[in-house]
Structure 1
Amino acid sequence: MDNVSVNGQKPLSLPKEQGSNSGFWLVVLGAALWGVDPLFRILLLKSLTSTQIVLLEHIIIALVVAPILWRQRSELRGIRAKHIAALLFISWGGSALATILFTMGLADGNMNAVLLLQKLQPLFAIIMARMLLKERLPQRFSLLFILALIGTYLLTFGFKVPFGHWNEFVQIGSLFSLGAAALWGGSTVMGRLMVGQMKYETVTSLRFILALPLLLAITWGEGGVWNLPTGSSAIVGVSLNLLGQALLPGLLSLLVYYKGLTTTKASVATFAELSFPMVGVLMNWIVFHEIITSAQIFGFVLIWAALFVISRQSQSLKA
């Protein structure tokens, strides 16, 4: 998780200390909580649309973080146009649109593939950082990128060969997932523009609050913004699922993850974060009977290997 996102992104700043065992396990726990996110979303999709789920989720979290923004309101003075643009990308793209795409991916695609494809977020962040911030690419990045693309192909399509009808080959859920990963990766880059400008808590609060107008407009445009479940049992069930989704894989996972990351090296955290797809795949297997395929396992290993090499290179440069 990034410094301004709840769903599956790396932080903007890396710890300087050698990782401790307690920090490592906190990262494992925080990332594992992300893995239960699809469980809530799939259950909510039975009663709500993707945009309704994301809107209500943001309203809950916005109510929690609004007091933080009020206390830090002095930081809003004198922000420049580029910072406003970065905040809008973070909130509208990385928060609103990316979460909608991720939820739609869970509804329309293979849930295991949708989860595992989120490991591509750092690659999108690296590419956008090169384009926008002129940061240097890692060594042999082209080769590593091709390796990750092969892994992406296997996660999305398995060992199939693209012959026949294109609409039978393209997996729309995986495309939604890739769109979410790109937007979340881009949010990492936009967040770097905010470093030193605002505190992390302020940016996080703005991320959810600024997303609300766009989410309201999108949900209203669907024509069913107030078509909510009826009946006391249905309302209670949806409310509990929404609270659980917003507070467990949302805010709580973020707090635990960053606490652990302050004493855990990025290269070590790469291993710890494997608890995210592992828990997600496990939940899919137990609850939704989604079994991971050998092609998905192989594809995930290729993506993780490429990211691990990049992570090691980044650590050697900082040493």
Structure 2
Amino acid sequence: MQSSVSSVSSALRSSNSGKMAFWLVVLGAALWGVDPVFRIILLDSLTSTQIVLLEHVILFMAAAPVLWKNRAELRSVGLRQVGALLFVSWGGSALATILFTVALSNGNPNAVLLLQKLQPLFAIVLARVMLKELLPRRIGSLLLLALAGTYLLTFGFSFPFSHVDDLMQLGSLLSLGAALLWGGSTVMGRYLLGSMKYETVTSLRFVLALPLLLVITASEGAVWQLPEGTGAQFAVLINLLLQALLPGLLSLLLYYKGLSKIKASYATLAELSFPMVGVLLNWLAFGSIVTGAQLLGFLLIWTTLFTISRQQDRL
């Protein structure tokens, strides 16, 4: 009898822990949507690459003590883990962003945005192949519901392009590459968290991306132009710190802590909180009107998130 009660209690704790982990990923991804609030101000003085580089310098200073504390954990890192870390830090952070940026300038922007929405599909397939994960129940209908919600958030009820040829351009292929890298980063992150602490994975992501960002920034050849006046420079510093610490450090700590307890296929759907927060902040901070189609998109995505969160008994 006591054994039965103990088993039920343990199952309840595990279920609650899984649900909490899922919502940590939701919260972590939602914080990514805060990024434009700070980035738009910083873009008046710096290029995107310079902003990301300075952000990673700040994050390096936060990550270095963590890596020193967990240095014993680094001694057991193998070649597969190094490859996964480089995929996450170089592929997911730097290269995917570059591909997506180039895609927007070399193709139909609507087609590029539409194809980027396939990221959850790539992550789910890779998680099944590489991590042997069981897929969520009713994954087909849930994925369609999620894609429909993100479509409505981005395009509303309008058709995003007038010719099928728009989907066959170079920009579209680059967008698919970015979606694959971002989806793969979720899977590689989950793989790393099977043998490493989430604090260590977060710190290594920042540290390993720094050399690549230095090379990219140097090759860009852009002039560093900080605004004149102490007040203006102080404002840039504050915005840079907030961007590094909120959509940078805090978001990934929450994200990886949650990801360490749930499957990558669940996490990639939890990441849909990102476009929702982006639309919400555009309305609150920049006065963009939220349409009926976007409200319906919100509803579809939240339905997906709540349905997935109730499936944690299978984690």
Is residue 291 of structure 2 the alignment partner of residue 293 of structure 1?
Answer: yes
Quote the sequence identity (%): 64
Taking structure 1 as the reference length, the TM-score comes to 0.70
Contact 1:120 1:303 in 2 (8 A): no
Counterpart check, 1:214 vs 2:234: no
Distance in 1, matches of 2:259 and 2:133, equals 23
**Aligned residue number for residue 225 of structure 2:** 228
Alignment deviations for residues 282-306 of structure 1 (CA, whole Å, 9 cap, x no partner): 4322321222222222234334434
* Unmatched runs of 5 consecutive residues or more in structure 1: 1-14
Q: Distance in 2 between matches of 1:81 and 1:261?
A: 22
Partner of residue 50, structure 2: 52
Distance 2:102 2:36 in 1: 11
Distance 1:146 1:32 in 2: 21
Q: Secondary structure at the match of 2:150?
A: helix
Corresponding residue of 2:152: 154
Q: Does the aligned pair in 2 maintain the 1:44–1:238 contact within 8 Å?
A: yes
**8 Å contact kept, 2:142–2:304:** yes
Q: Aligned-pair RMSD on alpha carbons? A: 4.6
Letter of the 1:163 counterpart: S
Indicate if the aligned counterparts of 1:125 and 1:186 stay in contact, CA closer than 8 A.
Answer: yes
Aligned position for 1:7: none
| Equivalent residue, structure 1, for 2:248 | 250
SS in 2 for 1:214: helix
Larger Cα Rg: Structure 1 or Structure 2?
2
Unaligned 5+ residue runs, structure 2? 1-12
In structure 2, distance between residues paired with 1:236 and 1:28: 32
Structure 1 counterpart of 2:35: 37
Could you tell me which of 59, 62, 71 is aligned with 1:61?
59
Is 1:317 matched up with 2:314?
yes
Structure 1 residue identity aligned to 2:288: E
Q: Using the alignment, how far apart are the partners of 2:50 and 2:135 within structure 1?
A: 39
Specify whether residues 23 and 147 from structure 1 end up closer, same or farther in structure 2 by C-alpha distance, changes over 3 A only: closer
Residues 23 and 244 of structure 1: CA distance in aligned 2, closer, same or farther (over 3 Å) = same
| Paired residues, number | 292
Could you tell me which residue of structure 2 aligns to residue 10 of structure 1? none
The farther-off stretch of 98-107 and 235-244 is 98-107
Corresponding letter in the other structure for 1:317: R
Relative to the length of structure 2, the TM-score reads: 0.70
Q: Is the 8 Å Cα contact of residues 153 and 276 (structure 2) preserved in structure 1?
A: no
In 2: Cα distance, 1:142 partner to 1:275 partner: 19
Alpha-carbon distance in 2 for matches of 1:304, 1:253: 20
Alignment of 1:1-319 (within 5 A): 16=14, 18=16, 33-98=31-96, 123-161=121-159, 162-163=161-162, 182-224=180-222, 226-232=223-229, 233-254=231-252, 280-313=278-311, 315-318=312-315
Shift of 1:211: 0.3
Tell me, yes or no, if the aligned pair for 2:199 and 2:253 is still in contact at 8 Å: no
Answer 1 or 2: which has greater helix percent: 2
Of residues 46-55 and 98-107 in structure 1, the stretch that sits farther from structure 2 once superposed is: 98-107
Quote how far apart the aligned CAs of 1:150 are: 2.9
Alpha carbons of 1:102 and 1:43: their partners in 2 closer, same or farther (altered >3 Å)?
A: farther
Change (3 A) 1:119 1:310: farther
Q: Which moved more, 1:205-214 or 1:252-261?
A: 252-261
C-alpha deviations, 1:227-285, integer Å up to 9, x for none?
33242344332222101111133324455678899999xxxx99x99986665434322
